[in-house]
Structure 1
């Protein structure tokens, strides 16, 4: 059996937009296909842990997965014409209130991360919410139907395992909460 060498044509090729919608664009550069956020929109992801060492998680139905997903609260930064110049800290605070009903006295930027760099250009700013106060019902906007969970960090592994056993999808960003338990298993 002969092994064919794959020619990496992306090195010499210009980026081509194959299709673009309101929020995403599919692109191709040589033989490499990928997806980008339209208009350079990025996301803000919030790690919200209260004074009693409980973390706020949300679950919501995700159309691409065709099922509910357990996630950290998150949302798009500057996703409409009204807030095109929005900064990540403002978006994070807005999304935390909308999704969970909690506000934060302070948002600390942890850093910029890429969720799946082999196929998506999207980045997200991870922010740590400090000084949480319950200010509303949460649940999202429009028809999001978000359910908020306040989970003790000590119970996070069991909580995620139980949701996975129910058939819920688990967002990769929850690995940061599970890592200490995974590493401890050795």
Structure 2
């Protein structure tokens, strides 16, 4: 007796080309959408993120560790935050948000922020983009740790020791954000000095 195919086994008919986008659900920060057979998530109100690559004069990078509810565990990440996520900052740009978030999360201030470009983290599932900024001339000005009850831990790690640090954190059970790959790339590609 042949197995009867289930809906999950059947080929997918691509209906998104001729369908209109529909909002399935919208919350304060995210919106789930569907266009034909394609399901995806967007940031509500066109909110986007600013991500900061902060390397100090001694070739140490600032990383942050914080609990991420969707993962159910701590995650090692670059400092980052939403642009214009609260009414008081609704018209801020990515550079302003990056300066604010770097200081809030790490306690460091940059004399200059350089926009590297806009990127998409998971374009097959999420429309969210982030602006990557490089922080220059860092000065420690406060304790960091985030705002409210974020409980962010800052790690200052030598670039040369990134692979060992990430391996140790992974062994401890921490999640590793995909943007950390840019720090691991020289080691993965065999081009590290």
Q: What's the TM-score bracket when you normalise by the shorter of the two chains?
A: over 0.9
1:42 aligns with 2:48: yes
Normalising by the residue count of structure 1, what TM-score does the alignment of the two structures yield?
A: 0.97
Q: C-alpha displacement at 1:69, in angstroms?
A: 0.1
| CA deviation map 1:157-183 (0-9, x unaligned) | 000000000000000000000000011
Counterpart in the other structure of 1:92: 98
- The number of aligned residues is 185
Q: Which residue of 1 aligns with 2:164?
A: 158
Q: Distance in 2 between matches of 1:161 and 1:4?
A: 40
Q: CA deviation at 1:6?
A: 2.3
> Aligned equivalents of 1:35 and 1:181: distance in 2?
33
1:52 aligns with 2:58: yes
Deviation of 1:39 (Å) = 0.3
Runs of 4+ residues over 3 Å off in structure 1: 1-5
From 161, 178, 181, the equivalent of 1:172 is 178
Task: Please give the root-mean-square deviation of Cα atoms over the aligned residues, in Å.
Answer: 1.4
Q: What's the CA shift string for 1:119-174, capped at 9, x where partnerless?
A: 00000000000010000000000000000000000000000000000000000000
State the shift of 1:12 in Å.
0.5
Task: Decide which structure has the larger Cα Rg and report it.
Answer: 2
**Alignment match, 2:73:** 67
Q: Name which of 90, 113, 117 aligns with 2:119.
A: 113
- 1:15 is displaced (CA, Å) by 0.6
- Ranges in structure 2 where 5+ consecutive residues have no aligned partner: none
Give SS of 1:154's match: helix
Provide the C-alpha distance between the structure 2 equivalents of 1:56 and 1:80, rounded to a whole number of angstroms.
25
Q: TM-score, normalised by structure 2?
A: 0.93
